[in-house]
Amino acid sequence: VKVVWTVHEFNDPKLYGGGKIPPISARILGRFFNAIITHCDSIKSEITKLFSLSDEDKVVVIPHGNYISCYENNLSRLQSREALGIPSESLVFLFFGSIYRYKGILETIKAFKSLQNNDVYLVIAGDVKEHDLKQVITDEIDDSKQILFLPQIVPNSKIQLYMNACDSVIVPYKEFTTSGVIILAMSYGRVCIAPNLGFFSDVLDDSRAFLYDSTNEQGLLQAMKLAIENKERLLEMGDRNLKLAEEWNWDYVAEKTLNVYNL
């Protein structure tokens, strides 16, 4: 029986009690797997080192499949904004998905408020997963009329509402392996803002995203300012993301995956 591990998250602090894999356990696991699939070169390098693999070919990079046509996409930008009560010509940032501190939600709110721009909105949509974090976020927002906080699980039918309403999706994670939200944003043709490292720097580039230095306390704020300054280019940049996401269709991913299982 062959054993193949597809690595989506392995150092996510909410998994396995947030613990790390001990080196001796990693070496044993490395021998146990017949093959390991990662979604980018950075994680391949990290896995090869962590599991002390002498054969790098055991780790195969296969892109994360897209979400095109997985969810409805028949609402226009104008319809989506009208439903959310957002002016049609404003610039809209979106923080989407399950909400944890390590995903940079508080830093996002702080950076947004520092913009002090009346024509920019921030939409926060997703289920708050940490005790008391919902109240902390509410306090940080402090009745700002330009921040829409929608703390609930987003049903599949409403994903398009938020994706089509926004200009840019912010993914300021402090800890991550892979990000399905990035692939989702690309599948809707949206520009991304993310740290310039790991999966993000492998999948995105400056023609399709605003990548920032996560060691710089002002990095996220600077990236948001760049997005505002380049407002007229955002649709074009988002289209580039969509074109790349189209290449990562599930027929392509399935073929690559089957090749690994048939090794």
Spell out the per-residue pLDDT of the chain, length 263, in tens. Answer: 889 989 887 765 555 455 566 667 777 777 888 899 999 999 999 989 888 888 888 999 999 999 999 999 999 999 999 999 999 999 999 999 999 999 999 999 999 999 999 999 999 999 999 999 999 999 999 989 999 999 999 999 999 999 999 999 999 999 888 999 999 999 999 999 999 999 999 999 999 999 999 999 999 999 999 999 999 999 999 999 999 999 999 999 999 999 999 87
Largest CA distance in the chain: 60
Q: What DSSP string runs through 132-195?
A: THHHHHHHHHTT-TTEEEE-SPPPGGGHHHHHHH-SEEE---SS-S--HHHHHHHHTT-EEEEE
Which 8-state DSSP code applies to residue 8? S
Q: Please state the separation of Cα 51 from the chain's center in Å.
A: 26
Return the domain boundaries, the chain: 4-65+249-261, 77-247
pLDDT at 87: 97
pLDDT at 221: 98
Q: What DSSP string runs through 42-90?
A: HHHHHHHHHTT-S-GGGEEE-PPPP-TTTS-----HHHHHHHHT--TTS
pLDDT at 54: 83
Q: Which residues of 151-181 are buried (b: 16+ CB within 10 A; e: fewer)?
A: eeebeeebbbbbbbbbbbbbbbbeebbbbeb
pLDDT at 29: 78
pLDDT at 237: 98
Assess if CATH 3.40.50.2000 describes domain 77-247.
yes
pLDDT at 119: 97
CB 34 within 8 A of CB 2: yes
pLDDT at 53: 87
**pTM, entire model:** 0.93
pLDDT at 21: 67
